[in-house]
A and B are shown apart, each in its own frame.
Chain A
Amino acid sequence: MMDGQRTPFQAYRYLLPALVLEAGFVFAPLALSLFYSVHRVRYYQLGDFNGVQNYLDVLSHRLFLNSFLVTCSFSLMALALTFAVGFGLALFLNRDTSGSILLRTIVLLPYVIAMLVGSMLLKWIFSTDAGLVPLAAAWFNITSPTILADPDYAMAAMVANGIWRDSAFAMVMLLAGLRSIPPNLILAARIDGAGSFMIFRRIMLPLLRPAILITLIRLLLHFANVLTFPLILTGGGPNNATETLALRIFRIGFEDFDLGKANAMAIVLCLFNIVAVILLLAVFRKTRGGQSL
């Protein structure tokens, strides 16, 4: 091959390492999951081909709809609030003063703590009988509700877990987007008489679109699939009020020992993720008048 010449295979050579990784860590497990989902796999032992029976069983179970709705409501609430808090923090800390650097570090702390440890910490904080929240409430002569044993409060606690931990991620992503905006654009707008809100709406927001989209997709996928929050913080309760699809998969697979059904549900969750991302992309395209990003 001579310098400057390209062969059709050259691109694939560069892509090969990434494709191998994808094949090993994404496609192979997905194929295996699909395989298990159409077989009877009880007590971790592969049984007979089962067709779509596992799918029918999990979809017709009375708790499936509950888990689906819990996943949707948790994902949407956590996504909106985490993004809003993360965006606010990014705008507030978009400068390099010593105070901002210190604050950024503090905000990042929950994100660098292991998810499991963070959720255990919050469980202790929210506990009515032994936690910090009731203690703080008592100082103000307020009787604290039983946060983790009330269906509504338990969902709120789970959303709070998401905001507490992941707004730092949103902040980092959006801060990187903000830093990529050329300062002379903003300067020129100011010279032309634009106010802060106008600069935000007409310059920053359009230029932040890629960062916003990536942040939203990443957060949405994270919240739709997260297991640690419901497993550790609320245990899916009370009265299944916080039992997400991910937790249900875990329980069917590792507590009922039925990997066939668990994998069928995992495939359903995978499809749910794909649909959610497509919807998000569609909303973004629509707001941009049909143009791609």
Chain B
Amino acid sequence: MRTKSKLRLAVLAMAGALLAPVAALAQTVTMWTFLNPASETPRDRALKQIIDKFETANPGIKIKVESQVWFTLAEKFVMAHRSRSAPDIGWVNGENMGLLVNSGVAEDLGPLITSKWTPALRQDLVLPQAYEWVKTGGKQVAVPIMALSIVLFYRKDLMREVGIDPAGIKTWDDLAAAAAKMQRSNGPNVERWGVGMHLSTDKTTMSFGANALAAAQGGKLFGDKCSALLANENGVRALNMQADLIRKHKVASQESFAYTLDDVIEQFIAGKVALASSGNGRFGNVMEKATWNGKELGMLPWPSLDGKKPGPQIMSGWFASISKDSKQKEAAAKFVAYMTGPDGMEIWAEPGGQVPLFKSVFDKPVFKDAKYDPLRQLSQMWADAEVWLPAECNAARTFVDLNTATQRVVLGNVDPMAALREAEAASAGRQ
């Protein structure tokens, strides 16, 4: 009996000795993102490199990525928090920041990340406003991973072909004229539209009309308590401009009313539209996938109604947030700090194709190469016209309301002001 007990003890001790290092190693931080490190797009490759480097430097922490659909990421993160199954880190897009801010599920990253910054690092920020934007009640609910804005993509080869200087496109009328010249038809069938617009009422982002309206209102789309500023003379002008691209200038397909941003980009990649709006984050992807020479891809500053200065770059982006329920906030914060710090930003720039959010990264010799000119151009466009809509407002659906108003005007012959009043009321109802 005594021998048996000793034997049991010995087995237990051996098992404990074997399992102890495993337990010490096992700190897995789960992250929800729309990227997939196993995939091959520039941003996917960048995320994989960031994780690999971080795990090499921090052998005690493993990053487990669970890929999600981009447009439901924020909702799923908040809902998962309510059901106590949230990941440690969740990515949230700027359009849905209102959900994160209002839901109160995010840990304050101030003490965990930003308060540890040196003054030099603070001075190094390209977009300090991006950090301020996601502060609510003094709490830092998220930090930016990559800044994005909806930009106008164009094809340099087509502009050359029709003899248009892109720099000369200052107003929306200029844009319509350029689009008309680049449009190609075969009999009654249009083979290439001048402009691709996403005007569906599905999940959407800023449209041409929203940009024109924000430009006319000094970058404002929301007033006090997130009341949308749509039903006014500026709104009517912006809405008519957008509608006229379809009904008057006929440079955009009526099917724009069924297109999402993704549809428009697919059309642009396939050479079926000459100008298209898209998140700048897709620049590298479009270059790679284009059925035409991807090196001919360019970005235009937004036109405006009066042409006096460019339209606003309405800023958004992807932000990292840590769940309040996370059991390993320190480890999660360590990874977020790395991913969003200068080391991570260098990888987001190359191979990720994103504008680094620290000046010192951009100043490195490697980024002097001409292939990074688009990133520099974008950075300059942001510096010239950066606008952050209030984070607590449900901006994504307000963009949908504007699209609905455009549909009602073009398809339902509704008076523009009446359609905008409806849109304003719809927006107010959900804030």
Real binding pair: yes
On whether the beta carbons of A240 and B99 are closer than 8 Å, the reply is no
A129–B397 touching, CB < 8 Å? no
Q: A94 in the interface, Cβ–Cβ < 8 Å?
A: no
Given contacts A130-B270, A151-B411, contact A238 B257 (CB under 8 A): yes
- Once the chains bind, are B200 and A237 in contact (CB under 8 Å)? yes
Which of these, B255, B397, B422, contacts A148 with CB under 8 Å? B255
Interface of chain A residues 124 through 143 with chain B (CB within 8 A):
127-130, 134, 138, 143
Q: Please, how many angstroms separate the alpha-carbon atoms of A111 and B342 in the complex?
A: 52
Q: Given the interface contacts A128-B255, A237-B407, does A43 sit within 8 Å of B99 by beta carbon?
A: yes
Given A42-B102, A146-B253, A234-B258: A129 and B404 within 8 A (CB)?
Answer: no
Q: Is B412 an interface residue (CB 8 A)?
A: yes
Task: Say whether B253 contacts A237, CB under 8 Å.
Answer: no
Name the B residues within 8 Å of A236 (CB-CB). 201-202
Residues of A within 8 A of B404 (CB): 237, 239-240
Smallest Cβ distance from B251 to chain A, in angstroms? 13
Binds B, one of A12-20, A166-174, A188-196, A253-261: A253-261
Complexed CA–CA distance, A16 and B397 (Å): 46
Q: Are B254 and A146 in contact (CB under 8 A)?
A: yes
Residue of A134, A151, A257 touching B189 (CB-CB under 8 A): A134
Q: Which of B113-132 contact A (CB under 8 A)?
A: none
Known contacts A43-B103, A257-B99; A128/B188 CB under 8 A: no
Q: Would A45 and B82 count as touching, CB distance under 8 A?
A: yes
Given contacts A235-B202, A240-B404, contact A149 B260 (CB under 8 A): no
Decide if B376 is an interface residue (CB 8 Å cutoff): no
Contacts of B64 in A (CB 8 A): none
* Chain A nearest CB, measured from B416 CB (Å): 14
A238 touches B102 (CB 8 A): no
- Is A62's CB within 8 Å of the partner chain B? yes
**Which residues of chain A come closer than 8 Å to B193, judged between CB atoms?**
129
* Bound form: Cα–Cα A149–B189 in Å: 16
Q: Is B188 in contact with A143, judged by CB distance below 8 angstroms? A: yes
Contact of A256 among B78, B103, B411, B430 (CB under 8 A): B430
Q: Which residues of A contact B253 (CB under 8 A)?
A: 128-129, 146, 149
Proximity string of chain B (94-106) to chain A, C-beta cutoff 8 Å, 1 when within and 0 when not: 0000010011100
Q: Mark B177-206, 1 if CB is under 8 A from A, else 0.
A: 000000000001110010000001111000
Contact A127 B255 (CB under 8 A): yes
CB distance from B84 to the nearest CB of A (A): 13
Which residues 90-110 of A have a CB within 8 angstroms of B?
A: none
Cβ of B256 within 8 Å of any chain A Cβ, yes or no, is: yes
Q: Which of A44, A127, A130 contacts B82 (CB 8 A)?
A: A44
Cα of A127 to Cα of B267 in the assembled complex, Å: 11
Which A residues lie within 8 Å of B330 (CB)? none
B272 within 8 A of A: yes
**Could you tell me the distance in whole angstroms from the C-beta of B75 to the nearest C-beta in chain A?**
6
| A258 → B minimal CB distance (Å) | 7
Q: Would A43 and B78 be within 8 Å (CB), given that A127-B255, A237-B257 are in contact?
A: yes
Q: How far is the CB of A142 from chain B (nearest CB, A)?
A: 9
Q: Does B304 contact A (CB under 8 A)?
A: no
A residues touching B (Cβ–Cβ < 8 Å)? 42-45, 62, 127-130, 134, 138, 143, 146, 148-151, 154, 231, 234-240, 243, 254-258
Which 9 A-B pairs give the minimum distances between C-beta atoms? Answer: A235-B202, A148-B258, A256-B430, A238-B257, A43-B103, A149-B257, A239-B407, A239-B411, A146-B254
